[in-house]
Structures are given as structure tokens and as C-alpha cells.
Structure 1
Amino acid sequence: MRAPSVPSPARRRRAHRSTAASLLAALGIGALVALGALPTTPAAAASSQLSRTQTTPTPTPSPSPTTPSTATPKPTKPATPAPGKPAQPAPPTVRGTDFDPGEIISDANFYDANAMSEADVQAFFASQTCTPKDGVPCLADFRASTESVPAAEPGHCEAYRGAVNESAARIVAKVAHACGINPKVLLVLMQKEQSLITGPSEYGYARAMGWGCPDTGPNFSASCDADYFGFQNQVYRSAWQFRQYTLYPLNVPGESYQRAYHLGSVYIQYSPDAACGGTQVDIRNQATANLYLYTPYQPNAAALANVSGTGDACSAYGNRNFWRLYTEWFGPAV
């Protein structure tokens, strides 16, 4: 599920347009591409080992009938083991009972901008099973010319220098460093929003991170604003938004509203439908508050009982899927 544009559960992201006016003017990016299935882990392949062999020739009789001679065996060179693919560790077992709504991911993990290099991101894209649609490339092969974005205020995102024909891995790595957000967080976000890593599509590339897609359409569907379409546009705006939440955890100076999700006890719904209910959640760190501000729902018991599948009519999956994907791909989120 994609959250609304303003701080309230019904509107998530639109509240920051006045604050981000200069940023929005700098970004007029449209790109293609995402949607798909959940990731799979490559099966481990074991190396094969050839056995050593040794032969002994038949003894040749000695000219002397009383002193038989036995030939010395000639050792053979040990066989070289056949090359094999290194075994890959099995993904951690993810159980719904381990989900903690008050700390979905640690601050240390969320803000580690150096967790992956550009080469690491590229290798990650290449390692995933990808089935593209609409004739678009997988992220390992995606390239786009990008636009420059000026630095925001102190403590916010640094400048992004645009370039011609940048890879998706370079765009992710540059945005992560500019805004101080872990590249892993951005990778998980694009998968949970649009399945962009395993099943990219033209629709998905345009809405890669679900930014500007509040749940205000029919039956709480996403109502995306085309002004915010494009891969670089989406990746940068999502990281910019997380930095904005972090810099101003309660409210943006000059604006009267208070953020709906912050440290402390907060009521969080199970889905966009208020009739489905919710519970008080003790949010214990800013990274978790950021995720609720971006996608303002917690998984209900049905969603956690089937942690890799569907729950019931009142289930929302965004923050559950973020936690599950991060854990499966990169290890414990906390």
C-alpha cells in the first residue's frame, strides 16, 4: 500500500509540496519502468571432487630365479577438482511473530549510506531473478540521463549532479550518499512499492518508489501524480522525504500541522479503511517513524500469520513487506 501525501493517514506526501517547491522545480524527470514477483535466492551449487588414483604395474621376473624383482609403482598426478559455484547462504527464516511494529528497522541500518557501493548495488541487481514486462530492461541493464538537483538546506540532502546515461546502480548510490539513506532501504522500498527489482514494468519505473501516490483513489487505490514520475525523480524524492522527516520529526517550521507518526505512543491503523481498526504502537526510533509517515499502516494478525502471502480484507502489507524483504535480502533489520 502506498501512503497518502500528507502526515495524516488519509494523505501522506502532499503536505510537503510547499517546503519542496524549489526541489520540485529542479526535477522534471520522466523515466520508464517496474512491477513483479518476490525475490528468490539462487540455489547453492556444490563443488565436485575427483578421487586420486594410483596404479601398480605387473612385476617383471628377474633373470635370477631366486631374486624376483617388483617394479616401483609410478604415482599419478592427483586430479584437479572441477570448479563449482560457491555455496550461497540460505535466506533467514522470517516469522510473522518476530515483527515488532515499534521498531521495524534500526536507525543504524536505515541511515548507513555506505552500506553498499555502486558496484555492490549493480551486483545485487544482477543476482536477482528478473522477469520484465512491456519491453523494459531489468534494473541491471537500465540506464537513463539524469538531471542535477541543488543541495537542500543544511542537514538535508546534498546536491545531485546529473549525467548522461547513468545506470540504475549509480543513481541509487548517488542518491543514497546525497541524502544519507542506506541504499538497501531504497532497494527494498522500490520492490515493496512496485516489485521493480524482480518484475519491472513501464508502469513501475514511472512510479518506482510510490512517491506522490496517496491511497485516495477508488477503493483506497493509489492516486499517483504524473508530475513526480521517473526513476531518478522517484528515487531522489523518496530519499529526500526520509531526510525531511528526520530533520523535522514533529513539524516543518512555518507549518502548523504536527506529524501523525513520531516517537512515542501513536495509534496506527491496520489499513486505509478506518473501520478495520488499529492499535496504539510505541514507536521507539526515527527510522520506524519514517516508514509509518511514508506508509501509515501496520500489518494485522492475518497479514503476519501468512507473512509471505495475503491476509484478509483488513490487511495492509507495506511495512510488513519492507521488514520481510530487508530481512531476507540483507539480514536482520534491527
Structure 2
Amino acid sequence: MRQWIAFLSVVSICTSLTPLPLFAETEVDYNYLLGDDELTDMTAMDFETLEAFLTRGSLADYETEDVNGHWESAAQVIWDSAQAFDLNPQFILTMLQKEQSLIEDPDPSQDQLAWAMGYAVCDDCSKSDPFIQKYKGFGNQIYYASKRIRESFLDDLESRGYTENGLGPGIEIEIDDILVVPANNATSILYAYTPHLQGNENFSLIWDRWFTHTYPSGTLLQDKETGGIWYIQFGRRRAITSRSAYLSRFPTQPVIAVSESVINQYPEGDPISFPNYSLLRSPRGTVYLIVDDTRRGIDSQEAFRAIGFNSDEIIDVTWDDLAVYEEGEPITIASVSPGGSLMQNTTTGGVYFVEEGKKYPIMSKQILKARFDGWAIFPQSPEDLEAYPTGDYVTFPDGTLVLAEGSPDVFVISEGKRRLIPDESTFLAYGWEWPQIIVTNERSVLLQSLGEEIPSILDQSESTIFDTAY
């Protein structure tokens, strides 16, 4: 571990007559390694998730003394220091992997464990130096490194804008012949702890692999602190501002609890405020039927009455309220079931979604529940159903987790396609839960064409498909 520690003098940054490159050829932004919120977000990972995260290596079963001499699990040692010094447990996990590969190493040495965070061991230091023996040991390493980060580096940055070794946001420094200008406190702390590019590049790559997830379009994220639910759609977060809107559009989709910093990674899009099948009246007087992200204008009072809409359900809204919806085909007096209905063949038992004079077959009970949970089903004779042209099969909604009976492959539905989740670790890291998986027949899964695989959080050599079907 190459780092500056408390007893080292302040680093003096020398300039060169020859201009230095601003950054090397790499995918890592050396000026921005980690967000400030990500460093201190104590809610990003709960204790149970932390324990599960350690199962990828030997630390799941490792027990040792903490800084107070108490015998504890590795997870408890990490958790206690994160809580004591208001740090994100994910940050400590990444540091342990960056320094000694301890999270994924199946058989670490005693030396790796003894200097787990690389704390107090500088370039030219001897690990046998009596001065640093108080920092030796897994529990001591995590405690004292966390303490230094909070009570020295972070406190200095917040009080005066730079650390004791001269690092701070906006302060240009030369590291390994590269000019770096830390963009924030978290990046400054990482360079204060490890004044070399390679170690910090490794930190950034590990962090991104484990904790920077691009959630598939159709994912519902819930803020752990506020309880607010956001819909991720095409790379943007859309606030769901009413319970009725949530229940009408996403009654069965999985919801993933995350920290605010995860949600804020996405630019904000238009809110989802009104439930499906709302009747919204524009300032001009046109009444629109809302279905998902589309508004359909009702072209006359006759059409309104003929279809059976209730004027008491009309909501007066602004143009801004309507602007978030795409304009769809108008609803006329000739429209049949513009809001859609479910019809069941009285002979075969098959169920169809009927909309605008067309019937769409529903292949399985699982799709029926995922799409139309709580809807009334109306019996129809085969002859009556025959009058409707047949459209495509109804598919699972975006955000659904599906598994074909007898298969180990779990998919998430996104933008109408099924995307393979490559391994158990990735499944858990994204925040999905086993009970959220819908088990159905193979044909229902194959209705959705195959899309791009979800990136694994594991190294490619470690990535495997789920061992068992859930």
C-alpha cells in the first residue's frame, strides 16, 4: 500500500518545465473517482446485504478481533466501522478489494488479512516497524483507516478545503507524471490515502463493477429514506407522485430499495402523476383518456357518453400536465373498448385483452396477473370472440423478472425484451429478491425477444449462470 499517513510531512508539489499530460489513456476519470455522497452514504447497503456480499470470497466465514478485542465476524467489523465513522460500507468493501483483493480472494494469506486496508504501510515502510504494529490486524486496519478518513481527511476538507498533505478540490497536483485536479472531497481523500494512479484506477474500476449499475429501463427504484418511488425509463428517473398512479401502472412489478445517491445518478424526467385511464381536461376543454404515456382525445360528447365515461371522473389539468404524454389516436363514437377489457372464451378458457375492436391472446396465468391484476374477466362465446381480429400475444411488462420452468436462466424484461441476468452475485447486487421472480412456461418467456445481457459484477472468469432454478 502506498499512502501518506499522519506522521508524514506535508507533500510539496513540484512543477516541471515540460507540461505534463492531464490524464492517461484510460476509461477512468482521474479527476473524479467517487462522489461525495457515495463516500458517506450509510444507507447504501444494509447489514444483511453486506453479509451476502462477502460470500463471493472467504470473508463470509472469517472471524477476528475488532479494535476493542471482541471476537466478531468480518461483516460485523466492517459494519461497525462504517457506522462509527459515517462511511458507506460499499466504500470499505472496495478499499479491501483494492488493497488486498480480500473480497474475492478464496484463500487470502495472513499478511493480506493483517494489513487489510494497507493502512500505515508506505512505500518504504517495513511491516515489522514497531511504530505501526498497533494498526496490524483486520479489525485494527478497518477501524483506524476509517477513523483517519473521517476524522482527518474529511474533517480537514470540510473545515479548510484541503488535507494535511495539501490535497483538495480544485488543487492541481502531480501524481505519477500526470496532472490531476480532484473534483470533490471523495477524490481528494482517495489520493491522500493512495498517492498513485494505479491504485486509484483500480478503486474506480472495482467500484464501477460492483456498485455503478445502469438499471434496465422499466425498473422501479425506491428511496430508502423518503420512500419515494422512481420509474427508470430510457436512462431517466421519473417520480411517481401519487399512490393511485403507482398502483394502476405498476401493481406487480418489483421495487428495488436504494439510496438517494443511486437515484440521483439519473437525470430527472417527467413525473408520473395520474393513474392509468384517468380523464384529464385541458384548458381548452378537450377531455383526454390517459393510458401509460399516451393521451387520447375524446372527439365529442356523443363519443364520451356512448363509451360510458363518467363526467364526475374528469380532472381539470394544465398544459404542462398534458405535455408529458404523447398524442395518440382520438377516441370516436366508433371506438370499441378504448380502455381495454378482458374476455374469456367460454369453451376453451382462453383469455384475451380486447382493445379497439381487436383481441390479443394471453398465453399464461402469469402474464395475466402481471399485466391485469385485479381486472374483471367477462365470459364470451367463441362466436362473439371470432368477430374480433387477433393481434400479437400480450407480453410481460417492463421490470418483470421471469424464469422458465426447469431452467436456471433468470431474465429481466426491459423495453419489451428479455435480458439475461448472468449470475447470482449480479442479481443480488442490483437489489432484486428471489420472491420477485415469476416462474412460468417457456413459451411465455420466449415471447420477448432476447436483448443485451445485464453486465456481470464479477470478473469474466468468475461469472456463471445460476446453479439452480428458483
TM-score (norm 1): 0.53
Q: In 1, distance between residues paired with 2:190 and 2:128?
A: 17
What's the offset of the Cα at 1:119?
1.2
Correspondence for 2:64: 144
Q: Is 1:116 matched up with 2:16?
A: no
Q: Is 1:190 matched up with 2:96?
A: yes
Q: In 1, distance between residues paired with 2:80 and 2:60?
A: 16
Match of 1:331 among 195, 212, 215: 212
What's the offset of the Cα at 1:197?
1.6
What's the offset of the Cα at 1:205?
0.7
Correspondence for 2:156: 248
Match of 1:259 among 161, 165, 168: 165
Q: In 1, distance between residues paired with 2:53 and 2:199?
A: 22
Q: Which SS does the other structure have where 2:172 is aligned? A: strand
1:1-334 maps to which residues of 2 (within 5 A)? 1-5=1-5, 6=8, 8=10, 97-126=26-55, 128=56, 130=57, 138-148=58-68, 163=70, 165-199=71-105, 200-217=108-125, 225-243=132-150, 244-249=152-157, 258-270=164-176, 277-279=177-179, 281-298=180-197, 317-331=198-212
Contact 1:211 1:228 (C-alpha < 8 Å) held by counterparts: yes
Q: Which SS does the other structure have where 1:260 is aligned? A: coil
Q: In 2, distance between residues paired with 1:326 and 1:235?
A: 18
Q: Cα gap change, 1:7/1:318 in structure 2, threshold over 3 Å: closer, same or farther?
A: farther
Contact 1:251 1:259 (C-alpha < 8 Å) held by counterparts: no
Q: In 2, distance between residues paired with 1:189 and 1:167?
A: 18
Q: In 1, distance between residues paired with 2:29 and 2:167?
A: 16
Q: Which SS does the other structure have where 1:169 is aligned? A: helix
Q: Which SS does the other structure have where 1:205 is aligned? A: helix
Contact 1:4 1:215 (C-alpha < 8 Å) held by counterparts: no
Read off the aligned partner of 1:323 and give its amino acid letter: S
Contact 1:2 1:193 (C-alpha < 8 Å) held by counterparts: no
Contact 1:297 1:319 (C-alpha < 8 Å) held by counterparts: yes
Read off the aligned partner of 1:3 and give its amino acid letter: Q
Correspondence for 2:245: none
What's the offset of the Cα at 1:7?
5.9
Unpaired stretches in structure 1, ≥5 consecutive residues: 11-95, 131-137, 149-161, 271-276, 299-316
Higher normalized contact order (CA 8 Å, seq sep 6+, divided by chain length): 1
Q: In 1, distance between residues paired with 2:83 and 2:109?
A: 26
Correspondence for 1:314: none
Contact 1:4 1:214 (C-alpha < 8 Å) held by counterparts: yes
Contact 1:268 1:296 (C-alpha < 8 Å) held by counterparts: no
Q: In 2, distance between residues paired with 1:258 and 1:144?
A: 32
Q: In 2, distance between residues paired with 1:110 and 1:258?
A: 19
Q: In 2, distance between residues paired with 1:123 and 1:99?
A: 28
Contact 1:7 1:261 (C-alpha < 8 Å) held by counterparts: no
Q: Which SS does the other structure have where 1:185 is aligned? A: helix
Correspondence for 1:57: none
Q: Cα gap change, 1:124/1:9 in structure 2, threshold over 3 Å: closer, same or farther?
A: farther
RMSD value, Cα: 2.9
Q: In 1, distance between residues paired with 2:4 and 2:111?
A: 19
TM-score (norm 2): 0.38
Q: Which SS does the other structure have where 1:248 is aligned? A: helix
Q: Which SS does the other structure have where 1:144 is aligned? A: strand
Q: In 2, distance between residues paired with 1:222 and 1:269?
A: 28
What's the offset of the Cα at 1:265?
2.8
How many residues end up aligned between the 2 structures?
Answer: 196
Contact 1:2 1:222 (C-alpha < 8 Å) held by counterparts: no
Contact 2:2 2:196 (C-alpha < 8 Å) held by counterparts: no
Q: Which SS does the other structure have where 2:142 is aligned? A: helix
What's the offset of the Cα at 1:251?
8.5
What's the offset of the Cα at 1:266?
1.8
Q: Cα gap change, 1:145/1:113 in structure 2, threshold over 3 Å: closer, same or farther?
A: same
What's the offset of the Cα at 1:258?
4.4
Q: Which SS does the other structure have where 1:139 is aligned? A: helix
Q: In 2, distance between residues paired with 1:296 and 1:187?
A: 20
Q: In 1, distance between residues paired with 2:66 and 2:26?
A: 42
- CA deviation profile, 1:20-63 (whole Å, cap 9, x unmatched): xxxxxxxxxxxxxxxxxxxxxxxxxxxxxxxxxxxxxxxxxxxx
Q: In 1, distance between residues paired with 2:85 and 2:124?
A: 28
Contact 1:251 1:258 (C-alpha < 8 Å) held by counterparts: no
Unpaired stretches in structure 2, ≥5 consecutive residues: 13-24, 214-261, 266-470
Q: In 2, distance between residues paired with 1:226 and 1:174?
A: 22
What's the offset of the Cα at 1:208?
0.4
Q: In 1, distance between residues paired with 2:67 and 2:29?
A: 39
Once the two structures are overlaid, the 10-residue window that deviates more, 260-269 or 234-243, is: 260-269
Q: In 2, distance between residues paired with 1:323 and 1:222?
A: 30
Q: In 2, distance between residues paired with 1:98 and 1:323?
A: 10
What's the offset of the Cα at 1:9?
5.2
Q: In 1, distance between residues paired with 2:30 and 2:205?
A: 13
What's the offset of the Cα at 1:144?
2.0
Q: Cα gap change, 1:283/1:7 in structure 2, threshold over 3 Å: closer, same or farther?
A: farther
